[in-house]
Structure 1
Amino acid sequence: MDFLTATLSVDDIWWMETFIDDWFFVIALSLFVIEIIRYAFKRQVTKNLLGDSITNFVTLGLFILLVGLVAIAYVGIFFFVFDNYKIVELPTTLWTILCCIVLADLAYYWEHRFLHKNGFAWASHTVHHSSPHFNISVAYRHGPLDWLFPLFFYLPLAALGFHPFIILLAEVIVQVYQTLLHTETVKKLPRPIEAIFNTPSHHRVHHARNTRYLDKNYAGIFIIWDRLFGTFAREDEKVKYGVYPQINSINPIKVFFSGYIKLAQQIYKAPTWSHKLKLLHKPPIWAWQQSQANYHKTNQ
């Protein structure tokens, strides 16, 4: 067990992160090809499916472009907190990395829950949920500000004393795990795994627009967070994917900015300044309830 306590260099951490980033994307593309072949055998390949998949990868490209513009500042903030406000400086070992992954996963749960409960954040995250399909390519479907919100939830890890490169590595591992969950090929796994870990079945529930599944299963790696905080739902009925109302477009530019375009339209039409501000911080279900209430008033 000595290898778990052996000190690692920054170069070691950087190598692990680069290796995961580079090779996993190749693996994900390979899995996507397998999924397309599976759809072909089932005669479910359509122009919309292929167009939607291409759109997913284009939004990934746009997202990477934005990340490239802010990457130095993003990493710099972690180093600033680590250098000036850390409670203790933790050693760089495999044990530290494992602990950081667990804490990063907990941070991801609360970040993910926030994205669904805040109107401004949801306007970016809704892009990820807007696909009516569910395959590996959907994991790469990003909104314009998806790079921003993780900062506020992972930053406390730097104050706890985790080296910024360890935090970024943990963040990558959580995201990589999430990518694998976007598939209909894998049904349900053995019960012990389903009880502890997030699985494709659990994540299909999260992407559903079925009423009983809304705002459920926010987990990254460990589904125990949802079980612990009361947001777990089991996949018991057929999942309908997407958001309401559906975007009904495979135009990547329209999809990428759809959330903020819709939010801007809602703010413009809002009757009062109080209503406009609430659209920025209230959950999307509140905006929908308000629109339904106004509809019934005007049609009485």
Structure 2
Amino acid sequence: MDPLHAPFDPVTLAIPFFVLAIILEIALARFKAVKAHYETRDTMASLAMGLGSNVAGLITGGLAFAATVWVWKHRAFDIPMTAVWAWVAIFFLEDLTYYWFHRLSHERRFWWAAHVNHHSSQHYNLSTALRQTWTGGVAATWALWLPLAFLGFPPAMLAIQKGISLVYQFWIHTEAIRRMPRWFEAVFNTPSHHRVHHARNPRYLDSNYAGILIVWDKLFGTFQPELDEETPRYGIVKNLNNFNILRVAFHEWAGIAKDLAGARSPREVVGYLFGAPGWSPDGSRDTSATLKAQWEAEQAKRDAPDVAA
């Protein structure tokens, strides 16, 4: 097997399945056989973002591939693509890498700018899975996978496993599946877990970053189960209410540029770039942390026993 060029691309092979699954979900929802909400303009925006992401990948993918090959050529170990243990190892290591990439993409504004478009839909259906970034390559999120190449995993293995992860994550973008069996929910990322991740309810913010295995969230303290008493509300904290593709793709980058233009110190420059989304010098803007804190304070006040005057 060629260690540099993957013999197949899981995502490309899965495209017909993606299309058929979306059509099936729409049809079943039309007959009220499953729960699914589609809005034509929203769905078209998601599909356009997916197409644009593929085009952007062709433009920026060369740099990521060249960097991966260069690092692999200076690898610490020789890991054969034909070894079963190597595929088992890369499954877990790539999924762990994805967890930290995903968490970074929510917790630091520079990388959130490249990821926020995926969360900008106020609907949650299979087409939402295709609402992918145009600027991830520019934000260099691919660099997080370079240590795996340094360990000795061939670029072709990395490409295949990353593709498998993306294909897996397609089916969890749905409200049609309420819960999977308990053992499955305990180990794997599921529609229920990922609905929480896409929710803008304060209780649900910044949780469930998993790719395939939900165990990473449980291990690192970011797991939040979906609660029957609190239905997820989808979108971002301040929804765009706009289907303009350029705005969907670049609105957070534009916000960063505006903030940097008004920055008054190096500290503010760093904060606007790499602080939490919503960071401001005076703390006047909401972040996930402040929204959660406000919600927790309101909950504590609501749950406190009445004290007689």
TM-score bin, normalised by smaller chain: 0.7 to 0.9
Q: Kindly state the Cα deviation for residue 228 of structure 1 after the two structures are TM-superposed.
A: 0.3
Code of the residue aligned with 2:76 in structure 1: it is I
Match of 1:282 in 2: 275
Within 5 A, what are the aligned runs for 1:198-209? 198-209=189-200
- Answering whether residue 216 of structure 2 is matched by residue 225 of structure 1, we say yes
CA distance in 2, matches of 1:45, 1:163: 40
> Which of 230, 243, 252 lines up with 1:250 in the alignment?
243
Code of the residue aligned with 2:54 in structure 1: it is I
Match of 1:56 in 2: 46
Q: Kindly state the Cα deviation for residue 14 of structure 1 after the two structures are TM-superposed.
A: 2.3
Structure 2 portions without partners, runs of 5+: 287-309
Contact 1:13-1:169 at 8 Å conserved across structures: no
CA distance in 2, matches of 1:101, 1:149: 22
Query: Equivalent residue of 2:218, what SS?
Result: helix
Match of 1:79 in 2: 69
CA distance in 1, matches of 2:204, 2:233: 10
CA distance in 2, matches of 1:26, 1:194: 27
Q: Kindly state the Cα deviation for residue 175 of structure 1 after the two structures are TM-superposed.
A: 1.2
Contact 1:143-1:257 at 8 Å conserved across structures: no
Counterparts in 2 of 1:201 and 1:289: CA distance versus 1, 3 Å: farther
Q: Kindly state the Cα deviation for residue 140 of structure 1 after the two structures are TM-superposed.
A: 1.4
Counterparts in 2 of 1:181 and 1:231: CA distance versus 1, 3 Å: same
CA distance in 2, matches of 1:65, 1:203: 26
Query: Equivalent residue of 1:284, what SS?
Result: coil
Q: Map Cα deviations across residues 277-300 of structure 1 (whole Å, 9 max, x no partner).
A: 20100111434982348xxxxxxx
TM-score (norm 1): 0.87
Q: Kindly state the Cα deviation for residue 73 of structure 1 after the two structures are TM-superposed.
A: 2.2
Match of 1:189 in 2: 180
> Which of 61, 65, 79 lines up with 1:90 in the alignment?
79
Query: Equivalent residue of 1:209, what SS?
Result: coil
Relative to its length, the structure with more helix (as a share) is 1
Code of the residue aligned with 1:248 in structure 2: it is N
Code of the residue aligned with 1:241 in structure 2: it is Y
Q: Map Cα deviations across residues 21-65 of structure 1 (whole Å, 9 max, x no partner).
A: 23311101111111211332249988x711111111111222211
Match of 2:108 in 1: 118
Q: Kindly state the Cα deviation for residue 270 of structure 1 after the two structures are TM-superposed.
A: 4.4
Within 5 A, what are the aligned runs for 1:26-41? 26-41=16-31
Code of the residue aligned with 1:166 in structure 2: it is M
Question: Which consecutive aligned stretches of 4+ in structure 1 deviate over 6 angstroms post-superposition?
Answer: 43-46
- Answering whether residue 134 of structure 2 is matched by residue 165 of structure 1, we say no
Contact 2:4-2:69 at 8 Å conserved across structures: no
CA distance in 2, matches of 1:12, 1:290: 48
CA distance in 1, matches of 2:5, 2:109: 36
- Answering whether residue 86 of structure 2 is matched by residue 108 of structure 1, we say no
Structure 1 portions without partners, runs of 5+: 1-8, 294-300
Code of the residue aligned with 2:190 in structure 1: it is T
CA distance in 1, matches of 2:122, 2:81: 42
Match of 1:141 in 2: 131
Contact 2:260-2:269 at 8 Å conserved across structures: yes
Contact 2:36-2:125 at 8 Å conserved across structures: no
Counterparts in 2 of 1:225 and 1:288: CA distance versus 1, 3 Å: farther
Q: Kindly state the Cα deviation for residue 275 of structure 1 after the two structures are TM-superposed.
A: 1.9
CA distance in 2, matches of 1:171, 1:61: 18
Higher mean C-alpha displacement, 32-41 vs 150-159: 32-41
Higher mean C-alpha displacement, 230-239 vs 255-264: 255-264
Match of 1:4 in 2: none
Query: Equivalent residue of 1:115, what SS?
Result: helix
Q: Map Cα deviations across residues 230-262 of structure 1 (whole Å, 9 max, x no partner).
A: 000000020000002100011212211122122
Counterparts in 2 of 1:102 and 1:29: CA distance versus 1, 3 Å: same
TM-score (norm 2): 0.84
CA distance in 2, matches of 1:230, 1:258: 30
> Which of 185, 205, 216 lines up with 2:207 in the alignment?
216
Q: Kindly state the Cα deviation for residue 149 of structure 1 after the two structures are TM-superposed.
A: 3.8
- Answering whether residue 144 of structure 2 is matched by residue 153 of structure 1, we say yes
Counterparts in 2 of 1:60 and 1:87: CA distance versus 1, 3 Å: same
Code of the residue aligned with 1:51 in structure 2: it is R
Identity percentage of aligned residues: 34
Higher mean C-alpha displacement, 57-66 vs 225-234: 57-66
> Which of 246, 250, 261 lines up with 2:254 in the alignment?
261
Code of the residue aligned with 2:2 in structure 1: it is V
